[in-house]
Amino acid sequence: MPSKGTFLAGFATGYVLGSRAGRQRYEQIRRAARSVAASPAVQRTTASLQHQAGDALTSVRDRATAAVGEKLQERRPAWVGSGATTTPTAGDASWAAGSNGHVGA
């Protein structure tokens, strides 16, 4: 649901674009909008909302990453292994072929 601020910004934009009041009225509205945007209260609110949005996106990203990771673990074929993080060596026969089709060095 849009906030009052969003509604007012949309209304002002629509009025400016649809107005027949001319350049003088347009400049008056523009000055008022800049004045509101420059107010410390609006700037604090904007910064707070940006911070909250960033936190929310980070939380959603982390939950999605965890959910996808769990699904991938559930669907991991048996031949892939347990997912242990060992670094293969060039002499290791279980090491898969590289992108050029060669195994090892």
What's the CA dihedral at 19, 23, 27, 30 to 10 degrees?
Answer: 40
Question: Are residue 34 and residue 50 in the same domain, yes or no?
Answer: no
For the cut 80, the answer to whether the pLDDT of residue 67 exceeds it is yes
Shared domain for 31 and 61, answered yes or no, is: no
Is pLDDT of 103 > 60? Answer: no
Task: Please name the amino acid found at residue 65.
Answer: T
CB 14 within 8 A of CB 7: no
Domain assignment present for 4: yes
What percent of the chain shows pLDDT beyond 90?
A: 30
Whether 22 and 49 share a structural domain = no
- Specify the number of domains making up the chain: 2
Q: Does the model's pTM come out above 0.75? A: no
Q: In which domain, by residue range, is 7 found?
A: 1-38
Q: For 8-32, how does the pLDDT look when each residue is reduced to its tens digit (9 = 90+)?
A: 888 887 777 766 667 787 788 889 9
Tell me the C-alpha distance between 36 and 12, whole Å.
12
The answer to whether position 81 is within a domain reads no
Answer whether residue 2 is part of any domain.
Answer: yes
Minimum mean pLDDT range among 28-37, 59-68, 95-104: 95-104
